[in-house]
Amino acid sequence: MINVTNLRKTYGDFTAVNNISFEVQKGEIFGFLGPNGAGKTSTINMMIGLSRPTAGEIFINGIDVRKQTKKAQSIMGIVADESNLYNEMDGFENLCFCAALYGMEKDEREVKARHLLEEFGLKDAAKRSFKAYSKGMKRKLTIAAALIHSPEILFLDEPTTGIDVESSRQIRKRIKALKEQGTTVFLTTHYIEEAERLCDRIAFIAKGQIVASGTVTELMDSVSHGHVIRFVTSKFAENLTAELQSNFEGSIATIQSDNTMIMKSEERIPLLPVMNFLHDKGIDVYEATELRPSLEDVFVKLTGIESSVLKRDEKKGGRK
């Protein structure tokens, strides 16, 4: 659906996007995850034809965006990083106007506008002027406006930045629903959790370059970490670590506290033998959890950027 090759963008002697290449498949949600200034907006602007690439190629559904910009734009829905509708018009008028820009007839425009207002929970605000909308409502209407002509592909630049948890959740739900209907989605974000929850595939972007890309699982696997299991037990087991290590070859056991012990191994660790071993020593096992690195750990490791540089979705943060 999207094929980008060796894309570059320079402003004077500053390189904002440095030779990036990637592909997005039809019906997938693809996300660019990166800190401020990474080059996310610069890339998206070139893909939608709002800015000219210094070098490289962009094909959308086989259409060369650089040569047939208008043809490509007719199948795109575009959500800019700011909610940029017309302040002096109400919600319904805004949607109808956007529909007209894509050549939709009056009846069709109005039916679709009403439908989208309903879908985005903005029915009651249809007759209120855009400037009276809250930030979250503005964001939702802006996304609705991008969907008015039923685009095959949707571009979203930081869809949930500056939006509260509940609105963000609703927006993510809508994006997922779109994917179910077959829309291809390209989005940028600096929320790790958002990328992880929403995207089928993610590209880490930093300083204008793609550092790594793939599914969440692929990205996790690209950083070798072995297997780590944490046992919560009934009592202290320090004197047992050496014995455990000799019984379970290749593993390293460490005591974390009075009743937790960590076992690490390159191979997967079978649980039952360990539990039986401890049981024979009169130790009850209450809990055994596999500790996985978070996507955040992977991001930090691959990009060398501290995750605090990315704004985190505080309320939902935390690792699994």
Partner 1 sequence: MRSRIAFWNILKKDIKNYYLKPPNISWGIIFPLSWTLMQLIRSPGENVLKLLPGLMAMSVLFGTTSMLAVTITFERSGRSFERLLLAPISINVLVLAKIAGTVLFGIFNAFVPIIFASFFKDLRGVNFGIILPTVFMIAVSSALMGLLIAVSAKQVFEAQTFSNFFRFPMLFLCGLFVPISDLPVFLRPISYLLPLTYGADILKGAVTGVNTLSPTLSFGMLILFSVVLFLISRHNINRKWIL
CB of 306 vs Mg ion, minimal distance in Å: 19
Alpha-carbon distance of 129 to 154, in angstroms, equals 25
What's the CA gap between 19 and 66, in Å, rounded? 16
- Burial code (b: 16+ CB inside 10 Å, e: under 16) for 16-28 equals bbbebebebeebb
Member of 20, 41, 184, 210 binding ligand ATP (CB under 6 A): 41
Structure tokens belonging to residue 309: 């540089």
Rule CB under 8 A: is residue 208 a binding residue for partner 1?
Answer: no
CA-closest candidate to residue 86, choices 76, 74, 73, 96: 96
Q: What are phi and psi for residue 253, nearest 5 degrees? A: -110, 135
Question: Closer CB to Mg ion, residue 40 or residue 139?
Answer: 40
**Please, which residue, 3 or 74, has the CB nearer to partner 1?**
74
61 binds partner 1 per the rule CB under 8 A: no
CA separation for the pair 239, 291 (Å, rounded)? 23
CA end-to-end distance (rounded Å), the chain: 33
11 contributes a contact to ligand ATP by CB under 6 A? yes
The listed partner (partner 1, ligand ATP, Mg ion, none) that binds 85, CB under 5 to 8 Å by sort, is partner 1
Q: Which is nearer to ligand ATP, 34 or 77 (CB)?
A: 34
Six-digit token string for 46: 């070139």
User: Under the criterion CB under 8 A, does residue 63 sit at the interface with partner 1?
Assistant: no
Binder of residue 57, out of ligand ATP, Mg ion, partner 1, none (CB less than 5 to 8 A by kind)? none
- Which one of residues 138, 149, 190, 201 is an interface residue with ligand ATP (CB under 6 A)? 190
| Using rule CB under 8 A, residue 49 touches partner 1 | yes
CA distance 57 to 31: 19
Q: Choose, by CB under 8 A, the member of 26, 71, 127, 176 that binds partner 1.
A: 71
User: Of residues 37, 250, 273, 318, which one binds ligand ATP by CB under 6 A?
Assistant: 37
Tell which positions 103-162 bind partner 1, by CB under 8 A.
Answer: 103-105
Distance from C-alpha of 26 to C-alpha of 74, rounded to nearest angstrom: 17
DSSP symbols for 163-231:
--HHHHHHHHHHHHHHHHTT-EEEEEES-HHHHHHH-SEEEEEETTEEEEEE-HHHHHHHS---EEEEE
13 near partner 1, judged by CB under 8 A: no
Return the number of the residue (113 or 219) whose C-beta is nearest partner 1. 113
Q: Which residues bind Mg ion (CB under 5 A)?
A: 40-41, 81
Instruction: Select from 48, 113, 205, 263 the one that contacts partner 1 (CB under 8 A).
Output: 48
Binder of partner 1 out of 26, 52, 235, 316 (CB under 8 A)? 52
Choosing from 63, 89, 223, 305, the residue that interacts with partner 1 (CB under 8 A) is 89
Contacts 24+ apart (CB under 8 A), 116-123: 116/144, 116/147, 116/148, 117/91, 117/92, 117/144, 119/144, 119/174, 120/144, 120/170, 120/174, 121/170, 122/91
Give the helix ranges, DSSP H, for 82-151.
Answer: 91-101, 106-119, 135-147
Q: How many residues bind partner 1 (CB under 8 A)?
A: 28
- Within positions 59 to 88, which residues make up the interface with ligand ATP, using CB under 6 A? 81
Residues that bind partner 1 (CB under 8 A): 45, 48-52, 70-71, 73-74, 76, 78, 80, 82, 84-89, 97-98, 100-105
Residues that bind ligand ATP (CB under 6 A): 11, 14, 16, 34, 36-42, 81, 190
